[in-house]
Amino acid sequence: MQLDRATIEQLAAHVESAELEARDITKITDDFPQMDWEDAYAIQDEIRRRKEARGNKTVGLKAGLTSFAKMKQMGVETPCFGFVSDYMARPDGGEIKTSELIHPKVEAEICIVTKAPLKGPGCHVGTVMAAIDFVLPAVEIIDSRYRDFKFDLKSVIADNTSASRFVIGGRPRNVEALDLRTLGVVLEKNGQIVAMAAGAAVLGHPAAAVAMMANHLGARGQEIPAGTFIMTGGVTEAIAVAAGDSVNVRFQDLGSVSMRFV
């Protein structure tokens, strides 16, 4: 680690306030170029601690930048990991208030809930498949706190990987009934198809994103408990939305997820 504890806490407060007040900030690596990966995750952990201390429950984990489309869009080459809190959840078919957000984008994500703990190192697609209780679809609304949605990987990790809102919809299915690689996803905005992909867009298999997450957490002495909701990352590039937009995502075999931005 390059940053001391006081700086980690100060940066966590800085980035989290930007989230809660919906105002953008310059990316933190501009001011702390020496920041390393451990610092970045330590800032994210401190944001999580702040939210939990305030009474917000952590209700899921997320992998980000797991598809080539997303990596290309954001100019990075490595996935990253974050969490989602209870207050970020919105109902399927509901409204998302853009006044609470800076410059939201939507992403279609194949999600799982685990029925057994996953502890890296050594997790792979097989380990993950054996630990999946069921699969369900979601839309993540990401909202980078960084100006013009421009960042580097360390800054975005410190910003809890742009986590902002999420909508779970469709219907849960047993993993045996699905082929997660060929599962098709069609993203519509205002009735027009704007992006589509299949599950394999995520690291060749969405379970690979979960394996990578388990190995990442294992290296930090943590495990993914049974019963964890995990978002495996946007299958296509993220689509910008504004007040007045409607989004509907159709997931093969899993139903659809929709929302309206107001």
Residues within the interface to ligand OOG (CB under 6 A): 62, 64-66, 70, 74, 107, 140, 142, 144, 156, 161-162, 233-234, 238
Minimum CB separation of residue 156 from ligand OOG in Å reads 5
> Are 249 and 188 contacting, i.e. CB atoms less than 8 angstroms apart?
yes
191's CB contacts (< 8 A; 6+ apart) are 246
Q: Taking CB within 5 to 8 Å according to partner kind, which of Mg ion, ligand OOG, none is near residue 65?
A: ligand OOG
Q: Taking CB within 5 to 8 Å according to partner kind, which of Mg ion, ligand OOG, none is near residue 29?
A: none
What does the binding site for Mg ion look like in residue numbers (CB under 5 A)? 64, 107, 140, 234
Minimum CB separation of residue 48 from ligand OOG in Å reads 16
Rounded to whole angstroms, the Cα distance separating 181 from 159 reads: 29
Nearer to ligand OOG, 42 or 65 (CB): 65
Q: Taking CB within 5 to 8 Å according to partner kind, which of ligand OOG, Mg ion, none is near residue 237?
A: none
Nearer to Mg ion, 107 or 245 (CB): 107
Nearer to ligand OOG, 119 or 157 (CB): 157
State the DSSP code for 81. E
Q: What angle do CA 85, 255, 110 make, to 5 degrees?
A: 45
Which tokens belong to 30? 């501009």
Nearer to ligand OOG, 148 or 176 (CB): 148
Q: Taking CB within 5 to 8 Å according to partner kind, which of ligand OOG, Mg ion, none is near residue 144?
A: ligand OOG
Q: Taking CB within 5 to 8 Å according to partner kind, which of Mg ion, ligand OOG, none is near residue 161?
A: ligand OOG
The CB-nearest residue to ligand OOG is 64
Q: Taking CB within 5 to 8 Å according to partner kind, which of ligand OOG, Mg ion, none is near residue 160?
A: none
- C-alpha 156 chain-centroid distance: 11
Q: Taking CB within 5 to 8 Å according to partner kind, which of ligand OOG, Mg ion, none is near residue 110?
A: none
Minimum CB separation of residue 103 from ligand OOG in Å reads 10
Nearer to ligand OOG, 32 or 149 (CB): 149
Query: Under DSSP, is residue 214 helix (H, G, I), strand (E, B) or coil?
Result: helix
Nearer to Mg ion, 63 or 211 (CB): 63
Nearer to ligand OOG, 144 or 191 (CB): 144
Please, which residues bridge with residue 63 across strands? Answer: 81
Q: Strands (DSSP E) along the chain, which ranges?
A: 58-64, 80-85, 89-90, 95-96, 105-114, 132-142, 163-168, 184-189, 192-198, 229-234, 239-240, 246-251, 255-261
Rounded to whole angstroms, the Cα distance separating 40 from 44 reads: 6
Say which residue the tokens 């997303």 belong to: 70
Q: Tell the burial category of 106 from Cβ atoms under 10 Å away from its Cβ (0-12, 13-18, 19+).
A: buried
Minimum CB separation of residue 142 from ligand OOG in Å reads 5
